[in-house]
Amino acid sequence: MATESRNGDNTGAAIVQVIDVVRTYRLGSSNVFALRGVDLTVAPGTFVALKGRSGSGKTTLLNCIGGLDRPTSGVIEIFGRPLNKMSESELTRWRREHIGFVFQSFALLPTLSAYENVELMPRLAGKGRKACHQQADSCLELVGLTKWKHHRPFEMSGGQQQRVAIARALANHPSLMLADEPTGELDSTTGREILGLFLRIVKEQGLTLLMATHDPLVDEYADLIVRLQDGQIVTAG
Ligand code: ADP
Ligand code: MG
């Protein structure tokens, strides 16, 4: 069975290639166009901000890129691999191995400690006990939460919870991180800390980050800003 190398064998090749992607949703008797022909190429090791108003299609695009949703037409290739050729079970496994997700509302499991939330990811990926433990500890250290590892989400601030979620997203060493409005529920000081942490992770770990946001602070951190309007990219630069 073929497996992809982490950042691809040919450095410089696109990590994400979105080709003429359309996504429509059926709403009663009419179609809602969430994406109307999106083309996007993302180079490895970059921090890309996906900006645009509410309803412009950011979440839909991230979900299609991460394999949580499927385009109505068009192709998405990640590390040169077309997602539409994968079955649901292949896609689930692939997602676990290669993609880290971070959401606005943190989406942590409330009854588990920070450590247990992070450790669950390598466990679901079938890693051994020792590897799970090491990965959870090193990811919590990376986000500066070693001292908080035994606390549960409700005992932590919003910024700390988002750090746990980032550690969880990193736990299987993904090549691509997708973050949907990760600073949306944080005050601007905490938002800055989180954006700084994302930037450090991109630079130190060499991974690629695609972040949907309408937070103006992101302009200072991202390598590339892509603007979506009514399901179409209006500017990239
Ligand atoms: P954003 O993340 O930029 O706010 P979304 O991708 O969530 O935008 O939504 C884009 C458009 O698609 C909106 O008009 C939204 O109402 C519509 N949409 C998204 N998901 C669905 C769905 N599951 N069913 C119907 N319409 C949807
Ligand atoms: Mg959204």
**pLDDT range class, residue 12, cuts 50, 70, 90:** low
137 burial via Cβ count (<10 Å: 0-12, 13-18, 19+)? middle
Residue 3 belongs to some domain of the structure = no
Residue 60 belongs to some domain of the structure = yes
Residue 5 belongs to some domain of the structure = no
CATH number of the domain that residue 211 is part of: 3.40.50.300
pLDDT at 63 over 50: yes
Give the angle 89-93-99 at the CA atoms, nearest 5°. Answer: 130
- How many domains is the chain built from? 1
Question: Does residue 59's CB lie within 6 angstroms of at least one atom of ligand 1?
Answer: yes
Residue 1 belongs to some domain of the structure = no
Closest CA to 32 of 55, 8, 6: 55
pLDDT for residue 14: 86
Residue 2 belongs to some domain of the structure = no
pLDDT for residue 11: 45
pLDDT at 57 over 70: yes
Question: Does residue 56's CB lie within 6 angstroms of at least one atom of ligand 1?
Answer: yes
The residue nearest atom 12 of ligand 1, judged by CA position, is 34
pLDDT at 37 over 70: yes
pLDDT for residue 158: 96
Residue 218 in tokens: 């992101």
What pLDDT, in 10s, does the model give residues 197-218?
999 999 999 999 999 998 999 9
89 burial via Cβ count (<10 Å: 0-12, 13-18, 19+)? exposed
Residue 7 phi, psi (nearest 5): -110, 20
- How much is the average pLDDT of 130-159? 96
Please name every residue paired with 224 in a beta bridge, in sequence order, or none if there are none. 48
**pLDDT range class, residue 6, cuts 50, 70, 90:** very low
Question: Does residue 51's CB lie within 6 angstroms of at least one atom of ligand 1?
Answer: no
Q: Please state whether the predicted TM-score (pTM) of the whole model is above 0.85.
A: yes
Residue 4 belongs to some domain of the structure = no
> Residue 213 is part of which domain span?
11-236
**pLDDT range class, residue 13, cuts 50, 70, 90:** confident
The rounded Å distance from CA 177 to ligand 1 centre is 21
Least distant ligand from the CA of 26: 1
Question: Does residue 184's CB lie within 6 angstroms of at least one atom of ligand 1?
Answer: no
Q: Which residue has the tokens 């943190």?
A: 106
The residue nearest atom 26 of ligand 1, judged by CA position, is 25
What pLDDT, in 10s, does the model give residues 86-103?
999 999 988 988 999 999
The rounded Å distance from CA 57 to ligand 1 centre is 6
pLDDT at 8 over 70: no
State whether residue 99 is helix, strand or coil.
strand
Pocket test for ligand 1, best of 60, 228, 232 (most atoms within 8 A of CB): 60
The rounded Å distance from CA 115 to ligand 2 centre is 28
19 burial via Cβ count (<10 Å: 0-12, 13-18, 19+)? middle
Give the angle 196-197-202 at the CA atoms, nearest 5°. Answer: 100
Question: Does residue 52's CB lie within 6 angstroms of at least one atom of ligand 1?
Answer: yes
Residue 6 belongs to some domain of the structure = no
C-beta separation of 69 from 63 below 8 A: yes
